[in-house]
Amino acid sequence: MASFSTIVVLLFSFNIHVIQGYYYDKGTVQTITKCPGYYCGRYQIPGDNETSLWSSCGPCPRGSRVNSTWACSECTSSPTAYDWMYLCFMVVIGLLAQWYSIDMMLPDSQFSWKTFGSHFSALIETCLSACITLLVHEPLGSLQLRSCTVNHLSDWYTILHNPNPNYEEVLHCAQEAVYPLYSIVFVHYGLSVFMLFFIRPWANKAFQNRGHVASRPIYAALYLYPILALIHGIMAGLIYYAFPSIIILLSLMSHAFHFASRTDQSWRALLYETVSCIHNLVVVIGHWVLHGFGLVALTLWLQPESLAVILTLVPLPTFLYIVLSRFTDPGKFHTD
Ligand SMILES: *[C@@H]1O[C@H](CO)[C@@H](O)[C@H](O)[C@H]1NC(C)=O
Ligand SMILES: *[C@@H]1O[C@H](CO)[C@@H](O)[C@H](O)[C@H]1NC(C)=O
């Protein structure tokens, strides 16, 4: 009877231990054992050749990520097409913000040779900065990237997933699980500011921009890039998943706005003005490019096999607007 109760007590305490306590080896280990949390792992400590030691549970070194057996394994994949489109989006946002600020800051809103100089300089700076950013990332000296794959939204916010096993101590395992998709954007924005100081004065000299015309866009960019970096720092994960929808929505709205601002809303005039005026043609084709970019990104994310079908939808909003314009013309309701 005594032995039976001992066994019961033993079983009971064993159960308590297993259920309530999360057991893991806290120090370094000879053979790899499990770690708590999603992003804690062990890496091999380089030492003498016979006994290979694994570190205690913690964040993986930069450029590696914990795998299913709690080992930090180096990220060797390259970014997917969707990842590249995300990076493009972040670069283009920086460029568009600069172009917009150049248009806003300059006194004459009309197109001029001088504004073109600033626009062109911003384009060159952004391209140079993007290329240098790719060159200084692994593999060094090539325009390719070595990266970890993005699996979940939480990969962008590892700092929110530090485990607290048994409520004893918090393990700080925050790391860049999406290496280098998060940090590379900061590097690019930083380099863009550097390029701004380096190239813009020469561009201003070449296009003879002086005074406010030369200095205002530079000051604007000095505000814009930190703001963009802050937004990226906080919202990177959300932007990564939402950017196709953001592009499609914005391009549709701006597209409709462009057509709605024409004076003659008959379909003949809409079509004729689109084809005959270079400015209108460029605006419409620019919208098609944006719209197509958003659609491709969305399809790559949701259903990569139906890409070709989806691409035929790119000019659809234009034709719909032109065909349906006579039903939506507010003037019709007054005359009827
Ligand atoms: C480990 O082995 C390499 C060759 O296999 C040898 O050159 C090196 O000295 C060894 N290191 C130690 C710490 O024993
Ligand atoms: C995890 O990474 C370690 C070290 O790179 C490797 O030996 C192991 O096979 C990997 N496990 C899986 C399931 O990929």
The answer to whether residue 326 sits within a structural domain is: yes
* Alpha carbon 294 to its chain's center: 13
Q: How confident is the model at residue 157 (pLDDT cuts 50, 70, 90)?
A: very high
Question: Are 202 and 266 in the same domain?
Answer: yes
The answer to whether residue 11 sits within a structural domain is: no
The answer to whether residue 43 sits within a structural domain is: yes
pLDDT for residue 108: 58
* Residue 69 CB–ligand 2 contact under 6 Å: yes
Domain span at residue 127? 81-145+180-335
Rounded CA gap, 70 and 83, in Å?
Answer: 25
Rounded CA gap, 80 and 82, in Å?
Answer: 5
Rounded CA gap, 104 and 189, in Å?
Answer: 21
The answer to whether residue 329 sits within a structural domain is: yes
Question: Are 132 and 192 in the same domain?
Answer: yes
Report which protein residue has its CA nearest ligand 2's atom 11: 69
pLDDT tops 50 at residue 221: yes
The encoded tokens of residue 126 equal 């952004």
Specify the pairing of strand 53-54 against strand 58-59.
unpaired
Kindly give the distance from the C-alpha atom of residue 50 to the centroid of ligand 1, in angstroms, as a whole number.
9
Classify 66 as helix, strand or coil: strand
Report which protein residue has its CA nearest ligand 2's atom 3: 71
* Residue 144 CB–ligand 2 contact under 6 Å: no
The answer to whether residue 102 sits within a structural domain is: yes
Q: How confident is the model at residue 314 (pLDDT cuts 50, 70, 90)?
A: confident
Question: Are 239 and 310 in the same domain?
Answer: yes
Phi and psi at residue 188, to the nearest 5°: -60, -45
The answer to whether residue 272 sits within a structural domain is: yes
The answer to whether residue 239 sits within a structural domain is: yes
pLDDT tops 70 at residue 308: yes
Q: How confident is the model at residue 186 (pLDDT cuts 50, 70, 90)?
A: very high
Question: Are 137 and 252 in the same domain?
Answer: yes
pLDDT for residue 11: 42
Q: Which of 178, 194, 220 is the last residue of a domain?
A: 178
Rounded CA gap, 131 and 305, in Å?
Answer: 31
pLDDT tops 90 at residue 269: no
Rounded-to-5 percentages of helix, strand, coil across the chain: 65, 5, 30
Q: How confident is the model at residue 328 (pLDDT cuts 50, 70, 90)?
A: low
Rounded CA gap, 213 and 58, in Å?
Answer: 52
Q: Where is average pLDDT lowest: 29-33, 85-89, 180-184, 195-199?
A: 29-33
| Dihedral, CA of residue 99, residue 127, residue 138 and residue 191, to nearest 10 | -60
Rounded CA gap, 330 and 60, in Å?
Answer: 62
Domain total in the chain: 2
For residue 52, which ligand has an atom nearest its CA? 1
Kindly give the distance from the C-alpha atom of residue 68 to the centroid of ligand 2, in angstroms, as a whole number.
8
The answer to whether residue 196 sits within a structural domain is: yes
Report which protein residue has its CA nearest ligand 1's atom 8: 49
Q: What is the DSSP letter of 56?
A: P
Rounded CA gap, 220 and 308, in Å?
Answer: 40
